Structure 1
Amino acid sequence: MAEERKQPELRFKGFTDDWIQDKLHELTVINSGKDYKNLSEGHIPVYGTGGYMLSVNKSLSDIDAVGLGRKGTIDNPIYLKAPFWTVDTLFYITTQQQNNIMFFYYLFKTINWKKYNEASGVPSLSKQTIYSISVKVPNTFEQSKISKLFYSLDRIITLEQQKIEKLELLKQYLLQNMFADESGYPRVRFKGYNNKWERSKLNTISDSYSGLSGKTKEDFGKGEARYIEYKNVFDNPVAKLDGTDAIDIDYKQNEVKKGDFLFTTSSETPEEVGMSSLWDYDLNNIYLNSFCFGVRIKEKIDSYYLAYYFRSPEFRSRVMKLAQGISRYNISKNKFCELKISVPSYEEGVRIGRLLKSTTDLIDLEENKLKEFKLIKSKLLQSLFI
């Protein structure tokens, strides 16, 4: 039988003492939330199991605490900065013996609360059950070190999320304003461009083709060729290489070429039909899934410009009107290709496309950084606690 660990895998320098095991009854005080409906509007935040709800004029606590669901969402501890109020489905937990409340917030993040669920229907926890849980804790100095580390990491994660939100807002602004509507003039332009944009039917400047046909589920997942998956098209203005899967080479199928645009033909909502993706890779034996169609542009138009134009609110609003169906919505490839698209000069299109591509790349970079920070936090939660 393995010996019970008394120290975490990872520690700050200078700390060597064993952690003490105790029940939460000896370390914390569990307080009940109350109804807030008889209170007036104010500046004191009210929290439920899902987080912030509204603000009132009185508080339940003037010291920081950890919120933990009594009923409903029981596995999402919330750090409650005093003063605050909690509803009756959210316990607020304070500490005894000068224990660090922020340390306990992060400690609670490591507990599998669903294991202690007491109900067969709506998940529930009682004070008695919470009090009976045994945990291992260090001295208050080490508690403080650990909590400060996680607080700093959470601050970095929050700032990264805010940065991504601002970049997304910028991208949406550009998509809404840098493409011309029927007037031929966009609201926002690079300096030096003032000509009216042309309007052309898509089927006059392109050829279209269908995705894979005559295939069964046994044909997928093996072979020397690749096919572009539906989700890859749906999710990405510019398709990703890792969004493909194996299939046998089949010369009877339409092959996707670099610069082709791919469109989804169906979805569960009209708002999601006709989503576009640029295939920007010069590879052989690439096919398209059966639920999409391809468009190959014959004119000299910047690919990145079109990649984001096809995702612009102006174009998407017209695509949605083509959706037909009840439980699932579809669009006709022929009717889709009759839509008119707005085309600037080649040089202006290049500048628009590069701006939106660089903005998208920056968002992807920041999202990857955010994933890394969250992964670091997850690993530290495993290593700095027992």
Structure 2
Amino acid sequence: MMAEQAKVPAIRFAGFTDPWEQRKFSDIVNVCSGKDYKHLEEGPIPVYGTGGFMTSVDEALSYDRDAVGIGRKGTIDKPYLLKAPFWTVDTLFYAIPKSDMDLEFVHCSFLNVDWKSKDESTGLPSLSKEAINETIALVPSFNEQSRLGDFFYNLDNLITLHQRKYDKLVIFKKSMLEKMFPKDGESVPEIRFAGFTDPWEQRKFGDCFEFLKSNTLSRAGLNDENGTARNVHYGDILIKFGDCLDGERSDLPFITDDTVLPKFAGSILREGDVIFADTAEDEAAGKCVELRKLPKEPTISGLHTIPARPRFFFGTGYLGHYLNSDAYHRQLLPLMQGIKVISVSKAALQDTQVRFPGLSEQAAIGAALSEIDNLITLHQRKLELLQNIKKSLLDKMFV
């Protein structure tokens, strides 16, 4: 009885009561090998690799049978749907469902397997046909497969819709950053709010900012629970934070050692300060965040950061967006040092040029770009929520 109960999912569509049948993947799909495409001519047939679409050619490996693509080498844990006609390269298997199997159900079955655990190499991840064929799946009737397949197909479409909205907003912001700040050799930007006509001012960074002290605490010296002070870590600037940071809502980590704070009494951060990440693995070095709000605990700047305080007032949100724009950041590119790890120094920042309009125009630019940021964050959260819902349902609606 318990064995039968174990062969049904936790969540199920009404009307389906039969236990699911245990089958090998070799019983539900035909796993086929991809091939080199370089001998083919350009054409309308898409060519896919482990990372997705690559190019188009004039022949297909499958003209009329849809399939699930799964990596043979490299990325082996990101199966995705392939709509015929298509060609796959030799590092991507394509698995064609058998006649009694629903394509979308098969795709979900592939998503539910821990393919990395079946890696057969000591170097580049590799997957064999044998490993796929021997994998066990639990399968319901074709009608139940179809219901599940339709459900996840619609959920995927909803995720794709929000992904496209998010991507469009990111591209839109990038475009606005290019147009709302003056290009080299120009005194005003391409796009400007009505009523502003004065030329922008230009000064050296050192005339606009004074540097503050930063600590050298690694993640090991931080915690998420408690402490007398908070810390801004360079890794969070590079990956987690946007152009402006609301410290009240961002869960900044605490400093574990209470004796650290007194050493930085003159460098406790304030609203309006900016912090640069001085180190990265690429040209993201120099990414900056403007502090908009701060938690009630004193906050100091951490490992591999350069904190700076404006010598005069800037409009809220202006510096965070400007200092991350190409208009400013491209000045840093020839000043970066290192090969595997790229770094930017205080001396390099000191001689860069900072451009800005009057306070009212700064505030208008900061507010407009912050509103775009809010929309991006909204769609990102919706997207993450839908992805988490899908992950949970794949677990509960499959055995």
Residue from 289, 295, 311 that aligns with 1:298: 311
Cα distance, 1:134–1:333 mapped onto 2, change above 3 Å? closer
Aligned residue identity for 2:244: V
1:230 aligns with 2:234: yes
Letter in 2 for 1:58: E
Equivalent position amino acid for 1:238 in 2: C
1:210–1:292 Cα contact (<8 Å) kept: no
Structure-1 residue corresponding to 2:7: 6
Partner of 1:281: 293
Distance 1:38 1:17 in 2: 50
Other structure's SS at 1:293 match: strand
Structure 1 unmatched ranges of 5 or more: none
Classify 1:291/1:117 alpha carbon distance in 2 versus 1 (closer, same or farther; 3 Å). closer
Say whether the 8 Å CA contact 2:228–2:297 is kept in structure 1.
no
In 2, the alpha carbon distance for the partners of 1:358 and 1:42 equals: 43
* Partner residue of 2:368 out of 355, 358, 375: 355
Residue 84 in structure 1 maps to residue 86 in structure 2: yes
Question: Shift of the alpha carbon at 1:306?
Answer: 1.4
Aligned CA distance change for structure 1 residues 60 and 219 (closer, same or farther; 3 Å): closer
Distance 1:363 1:201 in 2: 32
Compared CA separation, residues 200 and 161, structure 1 to 2 (3 A) = same
* Other-structure match for 1:164: 166
Question: 1:207 maps to what in 2?
Answer: 210
Q: Secondary structure at the match of 1:207?
A: strand
Partner of 1:383: 396
SS of aligned partner of 1:47 = strand
- State whether residues 332 and 348 of structure 2, in contact with CA within 8 Å, keep that contact through their aligned partners in structure 1: no
- How far did 1:179 drift? 1.3
- Write the distance in 2 (CA, Å) between the matches of 1:126 and 1:355: 52
Structure 1 CA distance for aligned equivalents of residues 288 and 218 of structure 2: 25
Q: Which moved more, 1:324-333 or 1:63-72?
A: 324-333
Contact 1:184 1:342 in 2 (8 A): no
Residue matched to 1:33: 34
Q: Contact 2:227–2:254 at 8 Å: present in 1 too?
A: no
CA 1:72–1:272: 2 relative to 1, 3 Å:
closer
Which position in structure 1 is the counterpart of 2:176?
174
State the partner residue of 1:193: 196
**CA drift at 1:291:** 2.5
Q: Deviations over 1:303-352 (max 9, x none)?
A: 31111111111111113333344554444425523433212121111110
Call closer, same or farther: CA 1:183–1:7 in 2, change over 3 Å: same
| Separation of aligned partners in 2, 1:220 and 1:31 | 50
Letter of the 1:163 counterpart: K
- The verdict on how the C-alpha distance between 1:2 and 1:230 changes in structure 2, with shifts beyond 3 A counting, is farther
| DSSP-derived class of the 2:100 partner | coil
Cα 1:340–1:216 shift into 2, 3 Å: closer
Answer yes or no: is 1:263 the counterpart of 2:276. yes
Equivalence for 1:48: 49
C-alpha contact (below 8 Å) 2:209/2:308 kept by paired residues: yes
- Which residue of the other structure, out of 272, 276, 284, is the alignment partner of 1:272? 284
Structure 1: how far apart are the matches of 2:346 and 2:129? 60
CA contact (8 A) 2:237 2:289 kept: yes
Structure 1 residue 220, shift from structure 2 partner: 4.7
Write out aligned runs for 1:317-336 (5 A): 317-325=330-338, 328-336=341-349
Letter in 1 for 2:335: L
Could you tell which deviates more after superposition, 365-374 or 52-61? Answer: 52-61
Q: Would the aligned equivalents of 2:275 and 2:307 in 1 still touch at CA under 8 Å? A: yes
| Cα distance per residue 1:158-183 (max 9 Å; x no partner) | 12111111111111111111112453
**Secondary structure at the counterpart of residue 17 of structure 1:** coil
Q: Which residue of 1 aligns with 2:263?
A: 252
Q: Which moved more, 1:165-174 or 1:2-11?
A: 2-11
Task: Kindly provide the amino acid, as one letter, of the partner of residue 284 in structure 2.
Answer: E
Question: What does the per-residue CA deviation read over 1:182-217, in whole Å, with 9 as the maximum and x for residues that have no partner?
Answer: 53211110122111112223333443222137x799
Kindly indicate whether the alpha-carbon contact (under 8 Å) linking 2:274 and 2:309 is maintained by their aligned counterparts in 1.
yes
Distance 1:56 1:188, change over 3 A: same
1:61-120: CA deviations, max 9, x gaps?
212122233444433323111112233443332233432122111111112233444445
Question: Which among 336, 348, 353 is matched to residue 340 of structure 1?
Answer: 353
The ranges of structure 1 where at least 4 consecutive aligned residues each deviate by more than 6 angstroms after the TM superposition are 215-218
The reply on whether 1:367 has 2:370 as its aligned counterpart is: no
Contact 1:117 / 1:123 at 8 angstroms: preserved in 2? Answer: yes
Contact 1:266 1:331 in 2 (8 A): yes
Structure 2 CA distance for partners of 1:198 and 1:137, relative to 1, 3 Å: same
Secondary structure in structure 2 of the residue aligned to 1:223: coil
Give the Cα separation in 2 of the matches to 1:123 and 1:289: 36
Whole-Å separation in 1 of the counterparts to 2:123 and 2:209: 56
Whole-Å separation in 2 of the counterparts to 1:285 and 1:24: 57
In the aligned structure 2, how far is the partner of 1:219 from the partner of 1:176? 39
TM-score under structure 2 normalisation? 0.87
**In the TM superposition, what are the counterparts of 1:110-121 in structure 2 within 5 Å?**
110-121=112-123
